[in-house]
Homo-oligomer: A and B are copies of this chain.
């Protein structure tokens, strides 16, 4: 149940409406978690009901701004220090790799090449993001940068692996 905690964490950073959080999911948080609009509003309702967050400002157009409560902050800290349960791996790109013997080597190569190209694009997006964000000395910036660095390294690893794999397919399968 991590959406719950993603929301708590974001509201611990700063209060906001469902609409606000949605945008935060689309930009920064993107790297680590995602949620649909539908899901978000539902979760905000549940969190408010259980008292982990509360509505603080009612704005125009039915805007509801929420803030984390003490109970919510407590829940967030508990979750942060919990041992992370092993995550069920779900990587569709990688899953397909297993079965590429079903298609022509040229198609397999093309598939891998494309993964590499996408990783490169991702690396560029992250570099741009890095330069666009006004980093400061806050915890938010500090830990955010660690996450961004993770993303960069992940993208680089994928690109290097794709290059390697492409050559191997050419050498061994044609």
Contacts and interface: CB of A to CB of B under 8 A. Distances in A.
A161 B173 contact: no
Interface residues of A, number: 64
Contact of A150 (B76, B97, B107): B97
A49 to B, nearest CB: 22
Contacts of A100: 80, 139, 143
27 contacts: A2-B90, A2-B92, A5-B96, A6-B95, A32-B91, A32-B97, A33-B91, A33-B95, A34-B89, A77-B102, A77-B103, A79-B96, A80-B103, A84-B92, A84-B93, A84-B115, A87-B93, A90-B90, A98-B147, A99-B143, A102-B139, A139-B173, A146-B165, A149-B165, A150-B165, A153-B160, A157-B157
